[in-house]
Amino acid sequence: MAEKTPKADRTRLAILDAARTVFTRKGFSGTTIGDITEQAHVTRANFYYYFANKTALFIELGTSTRHEAMAVVSAFRDEGGQPSREAVRSWVLRYFAYLDRSGAFVLRAEGDLPPDAGFRQSVARSQRRVVTALGQAVLDASATASEADPQAVGTAVMAMLERSWSVVDHQRLPSPDRERVVEAIVELVCRFLA
C-alpha cells in the first residue's frame, strides 16, 4: 500500500507547483501572491503559513531547481571515464527531462529576478557552480587533454542543451522533432569527447 502524503505536505507542494507555473508565465515581478494562491487553490493564510513572502518562495524554487541541475550534472560525471554513446544519449534525455520540469522557470527567472543585489549575486554564484561542474565533467570524460576553461565548456554545453530544448519544445518555429535534436546533441557531445 502506497504511503499517503500528509495534507500539510500536499498543500506546500501545491503552492510550490503553482508558483513554478505562475512565475514561468508572469515572471517574478508580474506575479502576485494572489496569483499563486489562486493557481494552488489555497488561501493566503495557507501561503503565509509555509512562506514568509514571494521572495522566500522564489528562493526555495530556485534552490530546488539548482539541486536538480546539479543532480543531472553529477549523473554525467558519475559515468566515469569516457561514456558510451548510449550513456551520453541517456544523459541528454535526463537533461531534457529536467528541462521539461524546470526549464521554462529557469529561462524566465534569469530575466526577472528579485531586485536584491545579494540575491542576484547568489544566483550568479550558483549558476557558475553548475556550469563549472558540467564543464569539468565533460573535460574529465574527454579522451584528449584540453586547456579549455571548465566554466566556458559548461556554459557552451548547457547553452546548446537549453536552447535546443527551448526551440524544439517551446517556440513556434519550424524545427526538427525532438528525437532528431537529441541525436544531434549526442553526436556533438560524443565527437567532443573523442
Q: Which domains does the chain have, with CATH numbers?
A: 1-51 (1.10.10.60), 54-193 (1.10.357)
Cβ atoms within 10 Å of 192's Cβ, excluding its own: 19
What is the arithmetic mean of pLDDT over 27-55?
95
Q: What is the CA radius of gyration of the chain?
A: 19
How far apart CA 135 and CA 147 sit, in angstroms, is 12
pLDDT band at 172 (very low <50, low <70, confident <90, very high): low
What is the arithmetic mean of pLDDT over 28-40?
95
> Is-contact 36 74, C-beta < 8 A?
no
Residue 92 backbone class (left: φ over 0; alpha: ψ -120 to 50; beta: rest): alpha
- Share the mean pLDDT of the chain: 89
User: DSSP H helical segments within 111-149, as ranges?
Assistant: 117-141
Judged by DSSP in three states, 6 sits in coil
pLDDT band at 1 (very low <50, low <70, confident <90, very high): very low
Q: How many Cα atoms occupy the beta-carbon half-sphere of 54 within 13 Å?
A: 19
> Is-contact 162 99, C-beta < 8 A?
yes
pLDDT of residue 136: 94
Q: The C-alpha cell of 158 is what?
A: 548547457
For 92-147, write each residue's pLDDT tens digit. Answer: 999 999 999 888 888 887 778 788 788 788 888 888 999 999 999 999 999 888 89
The residues, any chain, with a CB within 8 Å of residue 99's CB and separated by 6 or more, are 106, 161, 162, 165, 169
pLDDT of residue 3: 57
Most confident of the ranges 21-30, 31-40, 175-184: 31-40
How far apart CA 32 and CA 19 sit, in angstroms, is 10
The residues, any chain, with a CB within 8 Å of residue 173's CB and separated by 6 or more, are 167
For 133-170, write each residue's pLDDT tens digit. Answer: 999 999 999 988 889 999 999 999 999 999 999 888 77
How far apart CA 13 and CA 28 sit, in angstroms, is 19
With a cut of 50, say whether residue 9 has pLDDT above it. Answer: yes
Report which residue type is found at 41: H
